[in-house]
Amino acid sequence: MEHKNVWESYSAKQLKELEALSAEYIDFLSECKTERECVDYIVNVIEKEGYRELQDVIKKGETLKCGDKVYAVWMNKTVAMFQIGRQPMEKGMNILGAHIDSPRLDVKQNPLYEDGGFAYLDTHYYGGVKKYQWVTIPLALHGVIVKKDGTTVEINIGENADDPVFFVSDLLIHLAQEQLEKKAAKVIEGEALDIIFGNKPILLSKEKNKKEEKAKEAVKEGILDLLKKNYDVEEEDFLSAELEVVPAGRAREAGLDRSMILAYGQDDRVCAFSSLKAMLELKDSERCACCLLVDKEEIGSVGATGMQSKFFENTVAEVMNLAGEYSELKVRRCLAASCMLSSDVSSAYDPSYASSFDKKNVAYLGGGMVFNKFTGARGKSGSNDANAEYLAHIRQIFEKEKVQFQTAELGRVDLGGGGTIAYILALYGMNVIDSGVAVLNMHAPWEATSKADVYETKRGYVAFLKEADLS
């Protein structure tokens, strides 16, 4: 089948909409580099659009009717949004699901140490990364430190123009002969990904003779002194901290033609953002519309905030109860009758590494929204394999709404692969297919997408929320 470039199909009006959406998306990526920051941003946006917190509705003893909008947040890292439709929820929902966690470096619980005149923060990489990509680039520190008294201190250092940044050092080329003989996976070891946090020793005054003397581990002590002065935290407060090390700096337009976006965390915040925008654009619908943005996908969707938790199922039960529909059987019927787009990025064709792809079955930047009938690895291991009937239904919707899409697989069959949250939702028996946006440099500190693909994917999500129904 012929590969089409969606840029060629847009009117002047659509190009204007595309650029406006891209500008908003760049701001989103620049402000939201952790799961907590994403959730805070999303809650602020949706509350202005009439969404109410589910727990508030429960406490007030209110009910839900057609057109009502509610949301639920779990541990500040996962959020679910619902817009009640005209049909009973028992007949199923239309669900957009994506994840808001991204590969990064996490600060360990006992991280601060001094060596060779430097203060370091010890890190543990999160998700699938090429470790050598994380050295020598400017890094920022985001997250929270929760003190014993329950006080939460928010940390965001490295994003403002006058902020300091951090970095992981690398061996100079002049001495790197032995290093360069190592395999790429071993060039930089995980334990070497510690960020340089400071280099200035502190001097302690001695009251008796008014002299100053260098402290033991003076650089580390200098850092602790700054942490106390600026944030009122002690070294032991690292024990109850969640600090993420991410690339510093704003998302940027890329290419002389400004056709692309280069940014950290587009896997999978590109799908989270476009799903959010689709939910806000939806005015009404026959079926209940849902947007589910979860944590921990990059490490297997585990834990209380991952897709494998009961958060989503429990929240659906609460929403159905408020809508006067609750029973265990009806919840099961609702989930089984639902249609879902498991929204995650797909690997874009890269001519520089052409041998890694099947050119007939790969996504192209500028090719529109991507559908993966299955993901997994090699012999479809670990994949959700969507029904042909469901894919035909999606095709029909997109043809009606004039949404351009492409189909793809993740690389050559024997080469490897990856997974999404699709197989977890499919456990309920609902129709699920993987979809999303093609990305270059996936899992690298800086990933690239096409503005056109982001715009087209948002259009596709709106069409899906309005039209999907296999009941």
pLDDT at 211 over 70: no
Q: CB under 8 Å to 160, separation ≥6 — which residues?
A: none
Q: Do residues 101 and 35 make contact, with C-beta atoms less than 8 angstroms apart?
A: yes
CA distances from 237 to 125, 230, 233 (A): 21, 14, 6
Rounded to the nearest 5 degrees, what angle is found at the Cα of 387, between the Cα atoms of 384 and 389? 160
The Cα 279–Cα 171 span in angstroms is 48
The Cα 458–Cα 372 span in angstroms is 17
The Cα 123–Cα 135 span in angstroms is 13
CA proximity to 123, closest of 196, 35, 201, 226: 196
The Cα 85–Cα 382 span in angstroms is 33
Sign of the torsion angle spanned by Cα atoms 402, 403, 404, 407:
negative
pLDDT at 195 over 80: yes
Average pLDDT over residues 193-207: 84
Which of 73-77, 228-232, 239-243, 378-382 has the least mean pLDDT?
A: 378-382
pLDDT at 159 over 90: yes
Helices (H) and strands (E) in the chain, counts: 11, 24
* pLDDT of res. 214: 64
Which residues make beta-bridge pairs with 254? 260
Strands of 93-99's sheet in order across: 52-53, 69-74, 78-83, 288-294, 93-99, 339-343, 431-436, 369-372, 405-407
Query: Domain 6-102+264-467 has what CATH class?
Result: alpha beta
Which comes out higher in pLDDT, residue 422 or 451?
451
* pLDDT over 70, % of the chain: 97
Strand bridging mode 376-377 / 152-157: unpaired
Strand bridging mode 139-146 / 93-99: unpaired
pLDDT at 51 over 60: yes
Mean pLDDT, the chain, rounded, equals 94
348-357 per-position pLDDT tens digit: 999 999 999 8
**What CATH architecture applies to the domain 104-247?**
Roll (2.30)
Question: What are the sequence ranges of the domains in the chain?
Answer: 6-102+264-467, 104-247
The Cα 455–Cα 98 span in angstroms is 16
CA proximity to 420, closest of 293, 291, 298: 298
pLDDT band at 201 (very low <50, low <70, confident <90, very high): very high
pLDDT at 205 over 60: no
94-135 per-position pLDDT tens digit: 999 999 999 999 999 999 999 999 999 999 999 999 999 999
CA proximity to 288, closest of 264, 261, 322: 322
* pLDDT of res. 39: 98
Q: How many CB atoms lie within 10 A of CB 185?
A: 10
325-341 per-position pLDDT tens digit: 999 999 999 999 999 99
Q: How many CB atoms lie within 10 A of CB 386?
A: 22
